[in-house]
Amino acid sequence: MQKKLKGTLDRPRLYIFKSNKHIYAQIINDNNSKVLTTKSSISPDIRNYIKSSSTKEISELIGTSIAKVCIQQNIKKVVFDRGKKKYHGKIKALADAIRKEGINF
């Protein structure tokens, strides 16, 4: 049985969802049940840069853009929630890009 992760106002939850074609990242405050920000491979600002929506480069681009939004909202620490997906490939590339921008988890 997997432990349930919860985000707070001080440390919101960074939820990563990966489908066969796209990857999504959301910053969620579980106390208020509110999504603070979201980025994905179908977001208009990212969709303009891509040819294929399912590459590691796109994951890195999503990671850097959501990290920049977090820094603007004064979020420095998050709880990393990858669901039941393994930590490798696109999810690892996204997480590394977020860490590179200065977000801790």
Percentage of residues of the chain with pLDDT beyond 70: 93
pTM score of the predicted model:
0.87
CB 59 within 8 A of CB 90: yes
Res. 14 pLDDT band, cuts 50 70 90? very high
Q: What is the tens place of the pLDDT at every residue in 21-69? A: 889 999 999 999 999 999 999 988 888 777 766 688 899 999 999 999 9
The CA distance from 75 to 89, in Å, is: 25
Which helix or strand (DSSP H or E) is residue 75 part of?
Answer: none
Domain ranges (residues) in the chain: 13-100
The arithmetic mean of pLDDT across residues 71-77, rounded, is: 94
The arithmetic mean of pLDDT across residues 1-14, rounded, is: 81
CATH number, span 13-100: 3.30.420.100
The CA distance from 41 to 81, in Å, is: 18
In one-letter notation, the amino acid at residue 28 is: I
**Phi and psi, residue 29, nearest 5°:** -100, 105
Quickly count: other Cβ atoms within 10 Å of residue 96's Cβ.
14
